Amino acid sequence: MDWWGRATLSRSARTACAKRSHAHTRLAVAVVSLAAVGALVTGCSRGTPSNVAAPPSQPGAANLSSPQAAVRSYLDWSSFAYRMGDSDLASETASPDEEVRVDSYIELLKEKGRGIEQHLTSFSIVRSSAEGTHTLVATHETWSYRYLAPDGRTYLTPAYSTSYDATYTVVRQPDGRWAVDSVDATPLGTVH
């Protein structure tokens, strides 16, 4: 007994109590950790949306053998240029004037503090007509797109979708290949 009249434990009894207390603490930490891991796994298995952007993938080689093929290659390569924030990537498929327009859109996105990832989900050529030194290619297109953080690693918005009717002016280059010289696109829905 101590001087207050309480029972005192021997040194070995106090050590045993401390060990049991530490064991209970370790068990509690383990249970809480397992619960946190379980919640994380359960949340992921439910398809929790992620804002981590997929890495960009480079399109295949540009096909500039006809006006129609050049339009499709332009869409692939300008989309990649937008995703990478580098208009030079679309230069093979666009005339110098159109490359300036691609660059202007990239700069506008940068001013707004974002980039864009876009994918063509539906594409059809409505008509083509040769007119002197150029060919007009009319299309109907549907796109899905998301805005990205400036570093391109995370999405800032959900996926959007919109359709366009577009007319591409395609010109023959001195090397005989075709390139998009201008685009006149009319959105058929909301553009965010």
Per-residue pLDDT at 126 = 98
Q: Does residue 145 share a domain with residue 75?
A: yes
Per-residue pLDDT at 11 = 54
Q: Does residue 165 share a domain with residue 99?
A: yes
Q: What are the C-alpha distances in Å from 20 to residues 6, 8, 10, 17, 26?
A: 22, 18, 16, 5, 10
Q: Does residue 145 share a domain with residue 79?
A: yes
Query: What is the Cα–Cα distance from 127 to 41, expressed in whole angstroms?
Result: 51
pLDDT tens, residue by residue, 20-31 = 444 444 444 443
Number of domains in the chain: 2
For residue 78, pLDDT beyond 70:
yes
Q: Does residue 133 share a domain with residue 103?
A: yes
Q: Does residue 177 share a domain with residue 97?
A: yes
Q: Does residue 174 share a domain with residue 110?
A: yes
Full domain range(s) for residue 28: 1-48
Are 82 and 181 a contacting pair, CB within 8 Å? no
Residue 61 falls inside a structural domain: no
Query: What is the Cα–Cα distance from 37 to 39, expressed in whole angstroms?
Result: 5
Residue 53 falls inside a structural domain: no
Query: What is the Cα–Cα distance from 82 to 67, expressed in whole angstroms?
Result: 22
pLDDT tens, residue by residue, 90-147 = 999 999 999 999 999 999 999 999 999 999 999 999 999 999 889 999 999 999 999 9
Residue 60 falls inside a structural domain: no
Q: Does residue 94 share a domain with residue 5?
A: no
Are 15 and 22 a contacting pair, CB within 8 Å? no
